[in-house]
Amino acid sequence: METPVALKLVVFDLDGTLASTGADLADAVNELRAGLGLRRKPPAAIAACVGQGARHLLRHTLPEVLGPDPAGMPALYRRFLRLYGRRCLRRTRLYPGVRRALAALRGPTLVVLTNKPGRLSRRILKGLGVAGRFRAVVGGDEMRKRKPHPAAILDLMRRFRARPSETVVVGDSRFDMEAGRRAHALLCGVTWGFGRRRELARWRPDAMVTRAANLPAALRRLGR
């Protein structure tokens, strides 16, 4: 079955929503740490810092180097992107059921809005074989303000002529939920990613999905 046309726009997060990217991100961070003479960090501790872009990730995983006023951020950021770019598809996979769920969503326009750099995001989606399902992929370096600011969602609504009641934001983190709520869009939280369920629940999403296979049905209900 397909989602009804009453729902015009579905805005997906990438990391933790469509794809499990944590292993490659953790490997890149730890390779960077090793090059700086620092000990490895547990992958779970690195994954907990994912969601607000690479600079946020580096600030929280390299505090020994960056400190409170990270003058060295530009160089480390470029170095991290080179390291991550070389490995961003080694262990990254779509979550189970995501490919089939995307194939079932034929009514609304599908887009990706992520705080990850746009070029890397498009590369990952292409490598995973789902880039063709999205009309737009907007990265954190391509939007006026990053999530949780609502500006990019509002821009996408205008671009695709969708009202807030016709738009749903699908994400695993509080940053997705806050951005969607501030844009007055519908919210669909997913529980398989990096975010914590209780953090999602605080935003009172219109739907909460525990398996990607259930996503098309949840969106059908929101589109009624």
Residues involved in catalysis:
13
CA separation for the pair 192, 95 (Å, rounded): 8
Give the pair of three-digit tokens for residue 127: 């490598």
**C-alpha distances in Å from residue 45, one per residue of 29, 49, 51, 56:** 11, 7, 13, 13
Is residue 121 classed as helix, strand or coil in its secondary structure? Answer: helix
Location of structure tokens 């709520």: 181
Q: Are the C-beta atoms of residues 176 and 183 closer than 8 Å to each other? A: no
Q: Are the C-beta atoms of residues 95 and 212 closer than 8 Å to each other? A: yes
In the chain, at which residue ranges do the beta strands (DSSP E only) sit? 9-12, 19-20, 93-94, 109-113, 136-138, 167-171, 186-190, 207-209
